[in-house]
Amino acid sequence: MELRHLRCLVAVAEELHFGRAASRLNLSQPPVSLAIKELETELGLRLFDRTSRSIQLTSGGVEALRDARAVLARIESMRQHARSVAHGHGGSLSIGFISVAAYSFLPKVLRRFTGDFPDVRISLHESTTDQMLGDLESGVLDVGCIFASPLLPSTLTYQATNRDPLIVVLPEHHRLAGLARIPLERLADEQFLTFERHFGPMMFDMVVSTCMRHGFSPRIFPARQMHTIVSLVSGGIGVALVPACVEVMHREGVVYRPLRGDRTLVETGVAWRSEDDSPAVLEMIRYLPKLR
């Protein structure tokens, strides 16, 4: 059975005339008559009652017509979906992200993208930069929102989206909370909340190196999530250095202050497989902010 058999069945059933059905299909009449005969032989039933003056569907033909229309509708739906995917309007997109991206560019990008491409199925996965680099290479992820990494594999392309200065998060009743800018060296005796190194090596190293430049080695209290770090600061467990974009996370009991005499920038961006020509990925990249 071929699609031409089903199209001929539908045309003849709707026209109730072989000549008109053939004209509708841009065929001559003999191929249409042959297609109906072949279909009747394959199905083992008579589809039409014919006389010299009229043609009518049999009861079996009515059932076959219903099935033929369903199959052809499904085929057309498949074609439309394929066209949609080819133009970036369908398909799926697996996006990994660090928590910092969720506080900066990612929500706005997703809002615009999903508004323009509502048929693209998006799955979000919070992760770490080093884990995402491997997942991007293996195809587990399509796009990764990451910290800038010197370990970026040659198979990936990276585009920077944000550079945020490090700022200090303090408990609201901290002795330095009233200052407009915080001299980092005056926090030398504090406990610093930051990512565990094997979960966030870049942020860990940046916090440690920034403190070292100000003359001290920080005492580290490890945590795994940015919101956990800010919550622990609120609870008086210590202080933290975070990218400025985290300030959008309003948390009772904390204050955010810029550093005095320091302009350490934290770069975040997006990576994807260089050879990935998926329309959904290519469209998503167009929505990314570009650093000036």
Together in a domain, 187 and 259: yes
| Distance, CA of 174 to CA of 211 (rounded, Å) | 19
Together in a domain, 201 and 240: yes
| Distance, CA of 148 to CA of 124 (rounded, Å) | 20
| Distance, CA of 168 to CA of 241 (rounded, Å) | 5
Report yes or no on 51 lying in a domain.
yes
DSSP string, 65-120: HHHHHHHHHHHHHHHHHHHHHHTTSSSEEEEEE-HHHHTTTHHHHHHHHHHH-TTS
Together in a domain, 192 and 259: yes
pTM: 0.67
pLDDT tens-digit series, residues 53-102: 888 888 888 888 888 888 887 777 667 666 655 655 557 899 999 999 99
| Distance, CA of 112 to CA of 217 (rounded, Å) | 43
Report yes or no on 152 lying in a domain.
yes
Report yes or no on 292 lying in a domain.
no
Together in a domain, 42 and 180: no
Together in a domain, 184 and 250: yes
Six token digits for residue 175: 């002795």
Give me the pLDDT at residue 189, please. Answer: 96
CATH number at residue 108: 3.40.190.10
Report yes or no on 116 lying in a domain.
yes
Cβ 221 vs Cβ 237: under 8 Å: yes
Six token digits for residue 41: 């032989």
Give me the pLDDT at residue 82, please. Answer: 65
Together in a domain, 227 and 238: yes
Alpha helices (H) along the chain: 3-15, 18-24, 29-43, 59-86, 99-102, 106-116, 129-138, 201-213, 226-234, 279-286
Six token digits for residue 52: 């010299």
Together in a domain, 258 and 182: yes
Instruction: Show the low-confidence residues of the chain (pLDDT under 70).
Output: 77-78, 80-90, 292
Together in a domain, 272 and 155: yes
Together in a domain, 152 and 96: yes
Domain count, the chain: 3
CATH number at residue 27: 1.10.10.10
Give me the pLDDT at residue 250, please. Answer: 86
> Which residues are bridge partners to 269 per DSSP?
146, 160
Give me the pLDDT at residue 84, please. Answer: 59
Give me the pLDDT at residue 114, please. Answer: 92
Among 234, 253, 241, CA closest to 193: 241
| Distance, CA of 231 to CA of 190 (rounded, Å) | 16
Give me the pLDDT at residue 239, please. Answer: 97
- Between the alpha carbon of residue 277 and those of residues 78, 170, 207, 272, 283, the distances in Å are 21, 45, 37, 10, 10
| Distance, CA of 242 to CA of 206 (rounded, Å) | 10
Together in a domain, 29 and 153: no
Report yes or no on 291 lying in a domain.
no
Burial class of residue 209, CB neighbours in 10 A (0-12, 13-18, 19+)? exposed
Together in a domain, 198 and 256: yes
Burial class of residue 292, CB neighbours in 10 A (0-12, 13-18, 19+)? exposed
Six token digits for residue 245: 């974009």
Select from 57, 86, 115 the last residue of a domain. 86
Among 199, 259, 249, CA closest to 224: 199
H/E stretch holding 121 reads strand 121-126
| Distance, CA of 276 to CA of 103 (rounded, Å) | 27
Report yes or no on 7 lying in a domain.
yes
Report yes or no on 234 lying in a domain.
yes
Cβ 172 vs Cβ 253: under 8 Å: yes
Together in a domain, 155 and 195: no
Select from 26, 55, 86 the last residue of a domain. 86
Domain residues for the domain of 13 are 3-86
Contacts (Cβ under 8 Å, ≥6 apart) of 292: none
Report yes or no on 177 lying in a domain.
yes
